Structure 1
């Protein structure tokens, strides 16, 4: 089923040619008849596409002669953005403890003329929202992507269109969007170091996703490996187990965690670095059901410091992210892209993290 109107496919294709320089200022575009034939659409559809490009001031039309690429193409996007509203797309509707993103964004926007619109992709998928947002009147977009490798096609159209876009939490593979992320590498390192300093030598890393699908998880994993290396524990590391649980395709989460816990006990693993707090908490609960105790049977360190982390029993030792600061910096970076498009910063923003010591790590 077609998700983008036929005319929009033509608009996107011609815009890409203009933005890439394949079509230069003053070059003549194909006629309505030629577009109809090339894209196998009606004359009405091809005319609509040219009208959209003209409305966006990417082209101009001369009666009796045709359509030509505008001189000032560098400052244009597929549709003119005249609003003072930015869009935030999140991969969750109800966010268990991560709501401070919005607080930080609004704190910065309060110093500007911009307002915030929030949409979740839990009902309407991320791709559908991205396609719609590209043609909306929003001034820019803050995206919390579902992964680092999803919807690359439509996201590359944002890049070609020079649409102001900042990602939070993850970077997009192969597309140079500005990103605001936590120090995931440092967090993975701190979590592993804390276990090592409490005399743990066999430490596993567990993730709910393939490590290559998420830049944030990958950085946490690399931090874990760096700590093992720095403390001469590579020979003690559990790479076989860790690799197995970083590349799984098992959608049955509960059964997956049960098998992981059994492997931990069989292999004499005493410490676990979890991708996030929700996984850490689920492991703790399942361990209780299996008659095991955290931290007596094994220790766990989470990542995120969600509100629930300090209320579960035992209270979860975790790496705290500053979600509010991430939101603030994402908004600041996006407004800078909107207001000063030629002064784009060259580096991503990395927000520091810190270890929250609680009750799930035992000193051996």
Structure 2
């Protein structure tokens, strides 16, 4: 995907086409039952402490676990709203979301969720939803690798359904900027939310398959190929050959501080060294009129990035699935609806 030329379809037409395409399964953004900060105050007062302790262990054992949990939360909220649907395994009567193309090789952290759920079921059986668990865990994951804190509104129910079809529409690494913007707008999230939430890539890893086109495409054009960029590109090509395999080889999306949640991700975009096409386009695309200025701001002002990331995570977490409030449940096992759940 070249950043030097726009797509053949006019920008307005791309937005219209995408809105028509995603005319199914859109989560409600208004009129949903309210979420509250003290939802578990009397029913499970230890919920925040339990999630925090388990996340501390997970991130201490492997900092990459923080990125896995943040990504899980994003994939959950982008499909049917934040309802735990991404956690469901396939059964004979349900096709889950885990094997959808944008998810099958990029999601992890399911065992961490299992451990947290087991602890919560021991302490407060049948009380804390998997959707709330994942939302809290994503906040704690961010905090544990140096990111900002925010209060998490709670009270979600777990969906008894999943949508493989909608999961295929998650933004991908080779997608155009207008397409990604349209997907965020459709879910009630702004362009500013999009740029801020992309900042989670500061602690993420990417597979060769997702950045091959970038490093054998327009990387030289965007970076200007100074000596440091040339060395970085050589390293990337050494772990990601143009042909012949290596699809599952991984590298940090922020090679400067890969285990620290900070704003260096945006600084790399200014240098033209973003790993993914979809990220670099926020700065280098000729269509990046608004996003370019936001990237510049976050690259220069880490506190502004932290504040907006916190606000955008709350906003994303508030995308709820109204169906889950009517027909949802609190799963005993996050991988199965309760009629299928094995005993813990």
Q: Same fold (TM over 0.5)?
A: no
TM-score by length of 1: 0.28
TM-score by length of 2: 0.30
Structure ranking higher in helix proportion:
2
Structure ranking higher in strand proportion:
1
Larger RCO, structures 1/2 (Cα 8 Å, 6+ apart): 2
